[in-house]
Every structure is written in structure tokens, then in C-alpha cells.
Amino acid sequence: MTRVVLLAGASGSGKSRVARLAGCPQLTLDDFYRDVDEPGLPRTTSNSLDIVDWDDVASWDAAAAFAAVAELCRKCAADVPSYDIARSRRTGTRLVDAGRAECFVAEGLFAPELVQSCQAAELNFDALYLDRPRTLSLILRFVRDVREQRKPFGVLVRRGIALFRTEPALRAYAVSHGCRPVTLRKALEIIAGDDKLGR
């Protein structure tokens, strides 16, 4: 069975970068966000905004995400959605193929939500929280979001400040769900199988 590393962390903390540096297959959990016009999505009205609350787990399809993780672990390949964050909707599907890799990374804000399901399904997994300075995440997130034109500039500024304030709670949430806080270097060691501590 292929091992999966569930990688959580604040937006902009470097989760995708870790997956790239590790050189192993990657499942982007953000691709399981729901379409912006799906009925019943959670909304936020803070800071004079009335938009979908993409930081609420109800905006994300946990069941589909876990199904993809389990299929990759057991069959080494899975069809997953392609999601356009700027348009806030799925644009198609793509194949994630783990091939003969011993491990793949499933990274995203809601990775902690999959820990219990992985345990119940007896998958071979580890769960990590990428623990980096809040100010660094704030800067990296803003630069990335502006470069990729993810949302209107004003939304990016207000959302960035809100995420900065809630990051300690996000960390506590991940740890309470079974993720262990690690540095970027430690995350790479664990993904490579060089971790001496184990779970």
C-alpha cells in the first residue's frame, strides 16, 4: 500500500513547495472545493464583505477528497477534479498517478479532516502541520495570491489580515486532529522516510 503524508498548514506556509521539493506525487486537496454557486455554501459578512467562506470546511468536499486519497493508496491512481481558484469552480478532471512511488503528499488547509478517516480505513499515513512564522506565511500568501490573481485585490488584503489573526487557532485545530507540527526541513525528512521519531 502506498503511504500518504497528509500535509496541513496555513495558506502560504509552503505546503505546495514541500510537495515539489520532496519530488513525490502530489494530491492538491484544494481541488476538492465546491463550486461557488453550489447551494448552501457557508458565507462570511465580516469586514463589509458578503462572500463564500472558503476557510469553512463546509465549502470543501471531504468525502470526495478522502475517496481520492484511499484510491491512490490502494490503486496508485485516481481521477480528481481540476479547480480554478480564481473562478471558484471545477473546470474538469485529471489523473493523479502515483506510479511506483512509495509515498505521495496530500496537501491542503483541510488535511486534518482526513486523519480520522485514514485511521479508520487503516491506510499507511502520516499527518503533519507545516509550522512556519505567521509573518512569513502572510507575505508569501499575499505575493502568491496577487501573482496568480486569485481574488480581487481588496479581498486579498482583508482576507490576508483575517488569516493572520486566526493562524494560531488553525494550528491548534490541526494538532487536535492528530497532525504533528514540523519545520519545512523536518517535513521533507518525514516524506523521504528519514524521520527517526515516527508517529
Q: Where does the pLDDT of residue 48 fall: very low under 50, low under 70, confident under 90, or very high at 90 and above? A: low
Q: Where does the pLDDT of residue 198 fall: very low under 50, low under 70, confident under 90, or very high at 90 and above? A: very low
The CATH number linked to 89 is 3.40.50.300
- pLDDT for the residue 195: 55
Choice between 198 and 164, residue whose per-residue pLDDT is larger: 164
Lowest mean pLDDT among 139-143, 190-194, 195-199: 195-199
Q: Is residue 199 part of a domain?
A: no
Calculate Rg over the CA atoms of the chain: 16
| Closest listed residue to residue 111, CA positions, set 1, 42, 2, 15 | 15
* Counted domains in the chain: 1
Residues spanned by the domain of 78: 3-192
Q: Where does the pLDDT of residue 199 fall: very low under 50, low under 70, confident under 90, or very high at 90 and above? A: very low
Q: Is residue 198 part of a domain?
A: no
Please give the C-alpha separations between residue 53 and each of 33, 42, 45, 162, in angstroms, as whole numbers: 11, 6, 9, 12
- How much is the mean pLDDT over the chain? 87
* Distance (Å, whole) CA 6 – CA 36: 25
Q: Is residue 197 part of a domain?
A: no
Q: Is residue 161 part of a domain?
A: yes
Choice between 161 and 110, residue whose per-residue pLDDT is larger: 110
- pLDDT for the residue 40: 93
Output the 3-class SS for the chain: CCEEEEEEECCCCCHHHHHHHHCCCEEEHHHHECCCCCCCCCEECHHHCCEECCCCHHHECHHHHHHHHHHHHHHCEEEEEEEECCCCEEEEEEEEECCCCCEEEEECCCHHHHHHHHHHCCCCEEEEEECCCHHHHHHHHHHHHHHCCCCCHHHHHHHHHHHHHHHHHHHHHHHHCCCEEECHHHHHHHHHCCCCCCC
Q: Is residue 19 part of a domain?
A: yes
- Whether residue 155 has pLDDT greater than 80: no
Please give the C-alpha separations between residue 188 and each of 25, 61, 82, 95, 194, in angstroms, as whole numbers: 13, 27, 26, 24, 8
0.85 surpassed by pTM = no
Average pLDDT over residues 90-111: 94
- Whether residue 180 has pLDDT greater than 60: yes
Q: Is residue 44 part of a domain?
A: yes
- pLDDT for the residue 196: 43
Please give the C-alpha separations between residue 65 and each of 81, 113, 154, 182, in angstroms, as whole numbers: 10, 10, 30, 23
